[in-house]
A and B are shown apart, each in its own frame.
Chain A
């Protein structure tokens, strides 16, 4: 099973990188962009097929290490 973890800054926490990318896209004349957020993606290959166990394990990994929950949110996608 593969777990895809997306980590991004919480809403309300200024995302300077997102702003810089937004600005760059504007200066390239791409139109219609309302907001840009830059995050990171962590892909984990797991040796289990147990969905619940995988979700519980990866949630613990996010809380302990993969995200800093003071400033970041995470979401977990599991793929068989």
Chain B
């Protein structure tokens, strides 16, 4: 299992992501955004979190034109697996690899804390180790995590089981930290090979740091 972790100027979660996948036994490589191709035997591309290009203009808006993103688009269109975490999710929506967009949090505040999430759909490689309605505890840390999609496309997301995770309380009742439509925290594309979420599974790998619920999420990719 070989994981390529993308690094833009301003990315700051690439080494947490490397730590997480190494812990699971995967080989990892950090790929600088100026690269024009991915390592040929890449099994998973992770667009890591942070503040690519200082979030200038819009979060993820400038990163989508980095040379490596052309390779990532080709990789994804051929069925390659791509995971975008936090700023990576923003980059994937800006690149139109995932539908919708991420707006400023409704409270206008940067939110950084642990949050509970409920599994809505596990009919995909990312969450297959979890069950529907499982409640997990994963850190969130974002300013622009307010997921938006128009009503028609939202219906399609549900119909195709593309809504993966929702923000809840510890009992699994909806608890929306940022104003996301339907409290959505993570989605995938129709083909179920491109995934995006605002919470940070790579920061939930050790009980010492409050939660290891990220293990079950990321492990899904290793069973492929």
Binding site for B on A (CB under 8 A): 9, 13-14, 16-17, 20, 65-66, 68, 70-71
Contact B108 A68 (CB under 8 A): no
Q: Which residues of B contact A66 (CB under 8 A)?
A: 57
- Looking at B96-104, B123-131, B200-208, the stretch in contact with chain A turns out to be B96-104
Inter-chain contacts of A71 with B (CB < 8 A)? 101, 103, 148
Whether the pair B100, A17 counts as a contact (CB closer than 8 A) is no
Q: Are the CB atoms of B108 and A14 closer together than 8 Å?
A: no
12 contacts between A and B (CB under 8 A): A14-B106, A16-B103, A16-B104, A16-B105, A16-B107, A16-B108, A17-B104, A17-B108, A68-B58, A70-B100, A70-B101, A71-B148
Chain B: how many interface residues by the 8 Å CB criterion? Answer: 21
Given A14-B106, A14-B179, A70-B65 contact (CB < 8 Å): no
Residues in A with CB closer than 8 Å to B105 are 16
Instruction: Flag if A16 contacts B93 (CB, 8 Å).
Output: no
Shortest C-beta distance, A37 to chain B (Å), equals: 13
Q: In the complex, which residue of chain A has the Cβ closest to the Cβ of B178? A: A16
B103-A13 in contact (CB<8A): yes
Q: Given that A14-B106, A16-B108, A20-B108 are contacting pairs, would A68 and B100 also be in contact in the complex, using a CB cutoff of 8 Å?
A: no
Inter-subunit contact B104/A70 (CB<8 Å): no
- 16 further A-B contacts with Cβ under 8 Å, apart from A13-B103, A70-B150, are A13-B148, A16-B107, A16-B146, A16-B179, A65-B57, A65-B65, A68-B58, A68-B101, A70-B99, A70-B100, A70-B101, A70-B148, A70-B149, A71-B101, A71-B103, A71-B148
- Interface residue B94 (Cβ < 8 Å from any Cβ of A): yes
Q: Which of B44-59 contact A (CB under 8 A)?
A: 57-58
The smallest C-beta distance from B57 to any residue of chain A, in angstroms, reads 7
In the complex, B61 has a CB within 8 A of chain A = yes
Docked complex Cα distance between A16 and B57 (Å) = 17
Q: Which residues in B have their C-beta under 8 angstroms from that of A9? A: 103
Q: Which residue from chain B places its CB closest to the CB of A67 in the assembled complex?
A: B58
Closest CB-CB distance, A25 to chain B, in whole Å?
16
Shortest beta-carbon distance from A56 to chain B in Å = 20
In the complex, which residues of chain B have a beta carbon less than 8 angstroms from the beta carbon of A17?
104, 108
Q: For the complex formed, measure the closest distance between the CB of A46 and the CB atoms of chain B, giving whole angstroms.
A: 19
For the complex, give the distance between the alpha carbons of A14 and B105 in Å.
11
- Write the chain B residue with the least CB distance to A64: B65
Question: In chain A, what residue has the closest Cβ to B106?
Answer: A16
Most buried by A among B58, B93, B150: B58
**Chain B CB within 10 Å — which of A13, A17, A71 has the most?**
A71
One digit per residue, 1 when the CB lies within 8 angstroms of any chain A CB and 0 when it does not, for chain B 136-172 equals 0000000000101110000000000000000000000
Smallest beta-carbon distance A7→chain B, Å? 9
